[in-house]
Amino acid sequence: MDDQKIKLLAEKAQLIRQSIIEMLIEAKSGHTAGPLDMADIFSYLYFHALKHDSKNPGWEYRDRVVLSNGHICPVLYATMAHAGYFPTDEMKTLRKFGSKLQGHPHRDFLPALETSSGPLGSGLSQAVGMAIGEKMDFGKTSSKQFVCLMSDGELDCGNSWEAMMLAGKEKLQNLTVFVDRNNIQIDGFTEDIMPLNPLADKWRAFNWHVQEVDGHNFRAIDGAYTQALAVFDRPSVIIAYTIPSKGIPEFERQYEWHGKPPVTAEDISTAREALHIVRTMGGKVKGEHE
C-alpha cells in the first residue's frame, strides 16, 4: 500500500465520519462512538480490500460482510453510500419510518446487506455458518472471503464464544473477524463491566490466528488483513485498537457517547468543527449547483 492509496483512504474515512455525524444530527438518535472509530476500517475494506461491485450487489464472487454489532450501522450505511450502493442523499433518512436505513441493518429494507443484525453476539454465528456452507459447496476452489465485524462489548455474549469454538474446529481459513477494541460499552468501560483481557490469548486458545493492530493505521490494517488471507489452517481475528468517537477530541474515549447522538447546539457545533464539515450528506459543497 503506497502513500497515495493511504491518502485516498484517509480522505474517504473523513468523508464517512462527516456523513455519520450529519446522519445522526438529522435522525436525532443513534450511536456515535463506534461508527466514528470504525470509519478507517470500513474505508479500507470497501475502497481497497474487498471484492465487491456496488452496481451489482448480488455478484456471485463478492466477498461477504457481516456486521455483528448492528448498532454501528451509520458507518456501514455511509460507506456503502459513498461506494455507490445507493444515492448519498438517502443517508438523511437514517432511522426514519420506511427508510432503507433502519436503526439496525435489515436485509429486507436494503437488499445489498448480507444479513440483518440487532441482537449482539449473533453475527459471528451467522458468518461462521456462511463460511462453512461455502466450504461444503466449493471446498478449496472458492476465493470468497467472509469478513465479520464485531464489538468488544458483545464478547460478553456467550454465543460469540460458541461460534469462535466452532470456527476453530472447522479451520475456517475463509473467515476473518475484526474486533473493534475500543474498550467501551453502553454502561461503561469493558474492563469494569466484564473484563476481557487477556483477549488475544483467549482467541488463540480457540485455534484462531490472532493479530493486534492500531485500528487507525491503514498500513497496519492492510498488513494484518494481507497476512490473514495467507493463513490456510485456521480462521483469523484482527483485534483493532480504536479510539471511541475518533475525530472529535471532545467526545473521544467517553463511554457516554456509545449510544447517543449530538443533539444539543453545542455538541453539534463541536462535532462539525472537529470534522471540518463543509459538505451536505450528499457529498456536495454547500451552495454547489447540481
Q: Give residue 286's pLDDT band: very low, low, confident or very high (50, 70, 90).
A: very low
Report the pLDDT value the prediction gives residue 141, as an integer from 0 to 100: 84
pLDDT at position 91 is 98
Q: What is the mean pLDDT of the chain?
A: 95
Judge contact between 91 and 281, C-beta under 8 A. yes
Residues of the chain above pLDDT 70, percent: 96
Report residue 206 CA to chain centroid gap: 23
User: For the chain, what are the domain ranges?
Assistant: 3-274
Residue 149 has phi, psi (to 5 degrees) of -105, 130
State yes or no: pLDDT of 69 exceeds 50.
Answer: yes
pLDDT given for residue 290 in this prediction = 30
Q: Which residues contact 81 (CB under 8 A, 6 or more apart)?
A: 19, 87, 88, 90, 91
Read off the DSSP letter of residue 72. G
Distance CA 60, CA 183 (A): 36
For domain 3-274, the CATH class is alpha beta
Look at residue 280 and tell me whether its pLDDT is greater than 90.
no
Do the Cβ atoms of 3 and 227 come closer than 8 Å? no
Which of 7-16, 114-123, 201-210 is least confident?
114-123
Q: What is the model's pLDDT at position 197? A: 97
Q: Which three cell numbers stand for residue 146?
A: 467472509
Cα distance between residue 73 and residue 85, in whole Å: 14
Q: Give yes or no for residue 119 having a pLDDT over 90.
A: no
pLDDT at 31: 98
For residue 65, give the C-alpha cell.
460482510
